[in-house]
């Protein structure tokens, strides 16, 4: 049936599929507003989608929206890596389900691609502000059940995390998406479990980055790479993300710029701002 449908209508059907998968629900008006189609065209799209996958959605007459069923199976293939990038940039259009235009750009291979259904359940929980129960495998304790309250999906440059309140440790932590094997959405969280209480997430700290004074022979090249002004780059980052950024950019965080190697092209000049930041064990050369 899909072979007989126009490209434009496939995009709209993919959008319905995408919203059901990641939001858990979709209003008819969402489709009409997104694609600027008439009411009759929008209704026809939902009718076609129901023909393609009758068990995927049901109509909630009280809320006047279509909701995901327990038997939901996506009609289109949603690529996990590309979808996460789109979600991170607030581009949740579902077009990746039917193939975007491919540009001749190469990137390093991704070794850890999260399960798209795990991502979808977590996104649903975040959008609906619900807690979840997950099966999580950690390096220290192996596999086990954890109750989390997720609030953000995070790309640390190497892999994807979910930032969440962990009821086991009563603290906000990062959980690697590829280590989560099951997600069950639960009840609404308590006030102290919401993102507003995540102090490391809410707190912004300034990082003053300069060309490495010992490893870089021509600092102007580094200034051009990073768009520096007055030979420095001043950026504000969430305290919870500081360690990831410093590791990703190989920033020398020693007190006197003592790390050697061509990979260390930047030095953190104001390392005192890192006081009371939690995840600095991964920051190159940083010690208390």
27-38 pLDDT, tens digit per residue, is: 999 999 989 999
Q: How far apart are the first and last CA of the chain?
A: 63
Tokens 């010690």 -> residue: 287
Alpha carbon separation from 22 to 61, 164, 225, 226 (Å, rounded): 21, 18, 37, 35
SS3 257: coil
Query: What is the spatial distance between Cα 14 and Cα 233, in angstroms, rounded to a whole number?
Result: 41
Question: What pLDDT band is residue 150 in, cutting at 50, 70 and 90?
Answer: very high
Q: Please list the residues that pair with 172 across neighbouring strands.
A: 165
With 80 as the cut, is the pLDDT of residue 271 above it? yes
116-197 CATH fold: SH3 type barrels. (2.30.30)
What integer is the mean pLDDT of 52-62? 96
What integer is the mean pLDDT of 253-280? 92
Reported pTM? 0.81
Per-residue pLDDT at 102: 44
Whole-number average pLDDT of the chain: 90
Indicate the domain borders of the chain. Answer: 2-97, 116-197, 203-282
With 80 as the cut, is the pLDDT of residue 89 above it? no
Say if strands 160-166 and 251-252 run parallel, antiparallel, or are unpaired: unpaired
Alpha-helical segments (H) within the chain: 7-22, 28-35, 39-52, 80-88, 116-128, 199-202, 219-225, 242-248
Give pLDDT tens digits for 171-215: 999 999 999 999 999 999 999 999 999 999 999 999 999 999 999
More confident residue, 190 or 287: 190
Q: What is the CATH number of domain 2-97?
A: 1.10.10.10
Per-residue pLDDT at 29: 95
What integer is the mean pLDDT of 59-70? 95
């Amino acid at each position: 049936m899909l072979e007989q449908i126009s490209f434009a209508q496939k995009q709209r059907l993919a959008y319905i599929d995408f919203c059901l998968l990641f939001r858990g629900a979709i209003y008819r008006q969402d489709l009409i507003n997104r694609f600027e189609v008439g009411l009759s065209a929008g209704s026809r799209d939902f009718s076609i989608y129901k023909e393609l996958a009758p068990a995927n959605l049901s109509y909630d007459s009280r809320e006047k929206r279509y909701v995901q069923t327990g038997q939901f199976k996506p009609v289109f293939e949603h690529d996990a890596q590309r979808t996460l990038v789109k979600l991170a940039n607030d581009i949740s259009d579902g077009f990746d389900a039917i193939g975007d235009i491919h540009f001749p750009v190469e990137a390093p291979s991704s070794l850890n691609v999260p399960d798209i259904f795990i991502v979808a359940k977590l996104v649903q929980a975040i959008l609906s502000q619900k807690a979840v129960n997950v099966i999580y495998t950690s390096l220290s304790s192996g596999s086990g059940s954890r109750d989390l309250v997720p609030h953000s999906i995070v790309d640390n440059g190497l892999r994807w995390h979910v930032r969440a309140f962990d009821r086991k440790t009563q603290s906000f932590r990062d959980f690697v998406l590829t280590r989560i094997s099951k997600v069950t959405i639960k009840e609404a969280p308590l006030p102290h479990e919401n993102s507003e209480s995540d102090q490391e997430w809410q707190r912004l700290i300034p990082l003053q980055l300069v060309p490495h004074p010992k490893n870089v022979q021509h600092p102007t090249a580094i200034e051009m790479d990073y768009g520096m002004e007055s030979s420095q780059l001043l950026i504000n980052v969430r305290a919870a993300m500081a360690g990831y950024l410093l590791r990703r950019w190989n920033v020398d965080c020693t007190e006197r710029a003592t790390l050697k190697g061509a990979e260390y092209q930047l030095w953190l000049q104001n390392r005192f701002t890192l006081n009371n930041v939690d995840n600095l064990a991964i920051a190159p050369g940083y010690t208390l």
